[in-house]
Chain A
């Protein structure tokens, strides 16, 4: 059985499990929707002001939603001990962890990115920024999934992981937030938006290469306590 077949099997099971229990993927989306609609109530309904703040708001809330989704990435597997089976696989852990994280992105970051044009409209984001917002979220949430997975793997063995996870991963999320919202702003201002998008892509490549190593190591530590 080739590595890619095994990766596909891991991915398939995670998607099946997530889709059968809808709350896993729908709750972060609802959170994204609700928090974004709180901002006009807090700031005021002026179109101009909202339009200026929209890229930052959408990005910060997407980041929080992605982080909340990440908490459950390994928790279910840890609780039902299927994580042990994963760690005892004769195959290298890297592709298995990669498949799990990618599967997580498919049910968290991807729907978040697809939903973003709707929220952009609510928040009066100028239409020039829509496409770039989606692309930046597609790239950026993937990076967030990888970074968040490190934190989730480190805290999965702890009873109260949720808040701790945010303390650990939020500082590491900062570059993604900076380049993601900058790309959207640049697009709205008619400036070059490709450089920040390229940086996001570069961050994704780096995360793809390095993060699974940290995730795998962290999982082994969390199971061994």
Chain B
């Protein structure tokens, strides 16, 4: 097992923004079951790194490998197996939670039965709000609609940018539990948060913002 290459490998990654170095010489290997927390002060490049990994930003130098191959040649496979949750709400306010989720899955090329979407929404605690337009939901509930994507879009890698924003205390514990369950089943998680995580499993912290 240990001989197989890590699923995700960053080698000597460098990125700058407006002539300011965000990170340099960043190397990291992520294998099945790893949970990696990206830490660092505001503006240290956490979001940029997640965007680079997700494929939304090409403003970096260095190499990224996905399952031993260069990511540039593996984009399609990578996108199928990764799930990125960014800062934004990720949902259309005019549509219901169910419609939003259905669209999110369709765009990934996955047809998910309505029953499964229901289950995902119930799991994030929105079982009663399925048919409500999202603009009538609270900020935390909207966030949960977005988080429900984690349970209806199958993936091996979660890239979560501040997943706890607008989430109450009980919700934070829930999300931590979801991350644990996912990693226990061989998933990989990279997340940014300022929240101190308490996971019942080893957690790796990568400090960004050292280079300046």
Contacts and interface: CB of A to CB of B under 8 A. Distances in A.
A80 B106 contact: no
A5 B92 contact: no
Given A90-B79, A224-B57, A84 B84 contact: yes
A203 interface: no
Contacts of B77: 90
Number of contact residues on B: which range applies?
A: 20 to 34
B99 A16 contact: yes
Interface string B36-65: 000000000000000100111111000000
Contacts of A87: 55-56
A167 interface: no
Contact of B106 (A6, A21, A88, A223): A6
Nearest to B107: A89
Contacts of A6: 106-107, 109
A16 B56 contact: no
Most chain-B CB neighbours within 10 Å: which of A20, A76, A85, A224?
A: A85
A224 B56 contact: yes
Number of contact residues on A: which range applies?
A: 20 to 34
Is chain A's interface secondary structure helix, strand, loop, or mixed overall?
helix
A17 B95 CA distance: 7
B56 A82 contact: no
Contacts of A16: 94-95, 99
B89 interface: yes
B94 A84 contact: no
Interface in B100-125: 102-104, 106-111
Nearest to B92: A17
B76 interface: yes
A5 B109 CA distance: 9
A91 interface: yes
A84 B56 contact: yes
Contacts of B54: 84, 88
A9 B103 contact: yes
Contacts of B91: 80, 82
A86 B90 contact: no
Nearest to A83: B88
B79 A88 contact: yes
Interface string A143-166: 000000000000000000000000
A90 B109 contact: yes
B4 to A, nearest CB: 23
Contact of B93 (A1, A5, A80): A80
Contacts of A224: 51, 56-59
B80 interface: yes
A223 B88 contact: no
28 contacts: A1-B109, A1-B110, A1-B111, A5-B111, A6-B107, A9-B102, A9-B103, A9-B106, A9-B107, A10-B103, A16-B99, A20-B94, A20-B95, A80-B90, A81-B86, A82-B103, A84-B84, A84-B90, A85-B107, A87-B55, A87-B56, A89-B79, A89-B107, A89-B108, A90-B80, A90-B108, A96-B107, A224-B51
Interface of B: 51, 54-59, 76-77, 79-80, 84, 86-95, 99, 102-104, 106-111, 133
